[in-house]
Structure 1
Amino acid sequence: MKPTPTPADPDAWNAYLAEGNAKQARKRVAADVLLRDSSGSVLLVNPTYKPGWDLPGGMAEANEPPEETVVRELREELGLDVVVRGLLVVDWVAPHGPWDDQIAFIFDGGTIDVEGKLKPHDKELSEARFVDLAEAGGLLRDRMRRRLTEAVRALREGRTVYLHDGQAPPD
């Protein structure tokens, strides 16, 4: 059996680490943002590629930090420059349908004032609008509705919430 390389041989050591890295599981990462207007309504978007409304954000690119994902996605899709103010939710989403598991983040984007200037900038969204929390609950799919509820609670309580599929993990 061949001995395990050590840091004393940097080329062999890095090749050994790269081989191990290639065998490890990869996680899909989604990052959304909770943006509010001055009345407390939340911004929702209507994606063209899946049913139901969603919080603004999207999927991270390779080696992209989740908070940068939010900034990039909102700039690309809505022409908005947001400042991430903190982490509200981390949600582990179990494998479902054809999808492997995923880690979903919701960040606090604070309050913005766009007064009617809000419109999609690419074909991934058909609509974007501020809605009150009661209306949001009727537009969102179950997991996202639960995640939004927890994000609002996290914002109110000043702490980050960890979830499994939008709910508190089992004890």
Structure 2
Amino acid sequence: MLRDQQGRILLVDPDYKPDWDHPGGMIEANEPPVNGLIRELNEELHLELVPDQLALSCIDWMSPHGPWDDSLMFIFDAGQLPADQIARLEPDHDELRRYAFLDLQQVQQRLRPYVWLRVEAALKATESRTVAYLHDGHPA
């Protein structure tokens, strides 16, 4: 979760699916989640972060659905990005149509409902300095 100085949340509009989402993606085999996130942010937005900038705020176990097995979804909070770092964001047009910093109402409108539940839990966890643990978007 990345925010600007006004507290708006960064979402991306991927080419490969119909809905907006968080920046990030799939980790590779034997890749720690935080390293995968740093790699994905660099690939998708040319954003360079280090592990010290990221705090785990949510883990969501997703049960098998459609053709997919179960999965673990992580949200790390990177806090507010400085204006100069935001100015250097550059979406990889092979993966993303665009990105935007959005207020909470806009975030809720653009995300799939279960992803919004994850974001909402992550925001509360960040505020209380805890980590949310969910099953399919709901408290475990």
Structure 1 and Structure 2 fold alike (TM over 0.5): yes
The match for 1:110 among 53, 56, 79 is 79
* Identity across matched positions, percent: 46
CA distance in 1, matches of 2:86, 2:135: 36
When residues 115 and 82 of structure 1 are mapped into structure 2, their CA distance, relative to the original with a 3 A threshold, is: closer
Residues 96-135 of structure 1 mapped to structure 2, 5 A cutoff: 96-112=65-81, 113=83, 114-135=85-106
CA RMSD of aligned residues (A): 1.2
> Moved runs in structure 1, 4+ residues, more than 6 A?
none
Match of 2:78, SS state, is strand
**CA shift for structure 1 position 122:** 3.9
Q: Tell me the amino acid that sits aligned with residue 90 of structure 1.
A: I
Kindly provide the CA deviation profile for residues 40-87 of structure 1, in whole angstroms up to 9, marking residues without a partner as x.
000000111112110110000000000001100000110001234211
**Structure number with larger C-alpha Rg:** 1
**CA shift for structure 1 position 115:** 4.8
| Count of matched residue pairs | 136
Kindly provide the CA deviation profile for residues 106-125 of structure 1, in whole angstroms up to 9, marking residues without a partner as x.
00112112455433124111
Normalising by structure 1, what TM-score? 0.76
Match of 2:122, SS state, is helix
Q: With a CA cutoff of 8 Å and minimum separation of 6, indicate the structure with the bigger relative contact order.
A: 2
Q: Tell me the amino acid that sits aligned with residue 117 of structure 2.
A: R
Unaligned runs of 5+ in 1: 1-33
Normalising by structure 2, what TM-score? 0.92
